[in-house]
A and B are shown apart, each in its own frame.
Chain A
């Protein structure tokens, strides 16, 4: 699974960081920072999907 994150769409709702701190950090203004590049580790796939499904701004996409 691949994950991508669109910094321009992110408004800092902070849902992703709450759901999956393994995948997302937040910067000092509260915008998300994607911690993985490319492939999502298998054990985090469910969490990656959760992030994509809960971001109010559709800023996160996962691709199986």
Chain B
């Protein structure tokens, strides 16, 4: 890849097998090449950074970790220098994603019905309308001059924000606020002591939850659902529980889907054959979406070892971090034919982009819907486009991987008089 690598304060990585750093910009730019190299010569990389962490790259090792919730705990799912306190297990900070059995199932079960395939399908017209609105804005921007648009920030980024706002029954213009909240939490944690307490996610959501409770929670939206549903103990959920769940949905659903849409557009911008196939063959789209998800899987999770154990023959100590690289799983030649090639009509595609085992992405049906509609609508409007300048594309660092800056040149646009 020729994409830019921004400056960083992270020390340079000497050898990815013994000193890996997934928060380093070199990883953001070259992750697939790094996994391929490690898978051949390692295949479980280690680092002393973050107080000790492992990076298994083979599909069988990733699956074994995801399936073994006794040995590998979800108490910590985002690797950093600090480990969450031991006594917050099995619930964790943000159930169900940070929970272990048996608590996990209780927290997850409540959320399954509104995110089931048939319920999510009802949101399709809304998602489509949202994409069209954004494309109208893009078109207006292009008409005002130039033929280049940042597909990551002017399009992909806004789709999950607006859709989840609608599902929660919150005004679309509040979407921008969520993005600020999420950015603070995920990308610059602990750097906002001087913040006005009224301008935080906590203050914002507490207010909305209070309003909804006073108005009578009888709407079709998710906040109403959460306020009216009975928890496992037969009681209504507390405001804290409702708040925690909504915060998790915002955090888990926005950057992830943004990344998947952006990476798919990045691919299409560089592959005219795949663009043509998408346009001419509607039957290929179902397979193309799964291939985007396999090839550009945006999400890597983490686990904490609950005991001294081993992974792929390597000695893992209790409290070591493990990266659960679903993206590397998806590129393992032992699990996929032509693993390193994007095959738009790949029919056998047992990918793990939405995870494996009990934590399977709760939002997978929604994410798939948004990705499908986003690409369909973009391709309908702009079937021909290319990277404006590969040197200006920038990928995110860390455990959610996707293009954050993606200038594309729209080709063959008819200039209306």
Instruction: Indicate if the CB atoms of A12 and B348 lie closer than 8 Å.
Output: no
**Quick one: CB contact mask for B102-132 with A, threshold 8 Å, 1 for yes?**
0000000100110111100000000000000
CB of A9, distance to nearest CB on chain B (Å): 10
- Give the distance in Å from the alpha carbon of A25 to the alpha carbon of B44 in the complex: 39
**Quick one: CB contact mask for A25-43 with B, threshold 8 Å, 1 for yes?**
0111110000000000000
- Give the distance in Å from the alpha carbon of A17 to the alpha carbon of B365 in the complex: 11
CB of B124, distance to nearest CB on chain A (Å): 14
Residues of A contacting B118 in the complex (Cβ-Cβ under 8 angstroms): 26, 28
**Quick one: CB contact mask for A47-61 with B, threshold 8 Å, 1 for yes?**
000100111111000
- Give the distance in Å from the alpha carbon of A29 to the alpha carbon of B352 in the complex: 20
- Give the distance in Å from the alpha carbon of A26 to the alpha carbon of B118 in the complex: 8
- Give the distance in Å from the alpha carbon of A29 to the alpha carbon of B105 in the complex: 12
* Known pairs A11-B360, A13-B364, A14-B364; A56 contacts B116 (CB<8 A): no
* Known pairs A11-B358, A14-B364, A56-B356; A26 contacts B116 (CB<8 A): yes
Instruction: Indicate if the CB atoms of A13 and B354 lie closer than 8 Å.
Output: yes
Instruction: Indicate if the CB atoms of B112 and A11 lie closer than 8 Å.
Output: no
Residues of B contacting A15 in the complex (Cβ-Cβ under 8 angstroms): 290
Instruction: Indicate if the CB atoms of B348 and A53 lie closer than 8 Å.
Output: yes
Residues of B contacting A17 in the complex (Cβ-Cβ under 8 angstroms): 117
B357 at the interface (CB under 8 A from A): yes
CB of B272, distance to nearest CB on chain A (Å): 28
**Quick one: CB contact mask for B343-367 with A, threshold 8 Å, 1 for yes?**
0000111111010111010001100
- Give the distance in Å from the alpha carbon of A56 to the alpha carbon of B113 in the complex: 21
Instruction: Indicate if the CB atoms of A30 and B117 lie closer than 8 Å.
Output: yes
Instruction: Indicate if the CB atoms of A14 and B117 lie closer than 8 Å.
Output: yes
- Give the distance in Å from the alpha carbon of A19 to the alpha carbon of B352 in the complex: 17
Residues of A contacting B368 in the complex (Cβ-Cβ under 8 angstroms): 14
- Give the distance in Å from the alpha carbon of A50 to the alpha carbon of B290 in the complex: 13
Residue of A with least CB distance to B353: A56
CB of A24, distance to nearest CB on chain B (Å): 10
B286 at the interface (CB under 8 A from A): yes
- Give the distance in Å from the alpha carbon of A14 to the alpha carbon of B115 in the complex: 12
Residue of B with least CB distance to A27: B116
Instruction: Indicate if the CB atoms of A28 and B116 lie closer than 8 Å.
Output: yes
Our pick among A11, A19, A30, A50 for the contact of B365 (Cβ within 8 Å) is A30
Residues of A contacting B116 in the complex (Cβ-Cβ under 8 angstroms): 12, 26-30
Residues of B contacting A54 in the complex (Cβ-Cβ under 8 angstroms): 290, 348-350
Residues of A contacting B113 in the complex (Cβ-Cβ under 8 angstroms): 28-29
Residues of B contacting A58 in the complex (Cβ-Cβ under 8 angstroms): 350
Residues of A contacting B354 in the complex (Cβ-Cβ under 8 angstroms): 13, 56
- Give the distance in Å from the alpha carbon of A15 to the alpha carbon of B347 in the complex: 12
- Give the distance in Å from the alpha carbon of A53 to the alpha carbon of B337 in the complex: 12
CB of B201, distance to nearest CB on chain A (Å): 28
Given A13-B360, A14-B364, A56-B350, 16 further pairs, Cβ under 8 A: A11-B356, A12-B116, A14-B117, A14-B365, A19-B286, A26-B117, A26-B118, A27-B116, A28-B113, A28-B116, A29-B112, A30-B112, A30-B116, A50-B347, A53-B347, A56-B356
A contact set with B: CB distance below 8 Å: 11-15, 17-19, 26-30, 50, 53-58
**Which 4 pairs between the two chains have the least Cβ-Cβ distance?**
A30-B116, A29-B112, A11-B360, A53-B348
Q: List 14 A-B contacts (CB under 8 A).
A: A11-B358, A12-B116, A12-B360, A18-B117, A27-B116, A28-B113, A28-B118, A29-B112, A29-B116, A30-B115, A30-B116, A53-B350, A55-B350, A56-B351
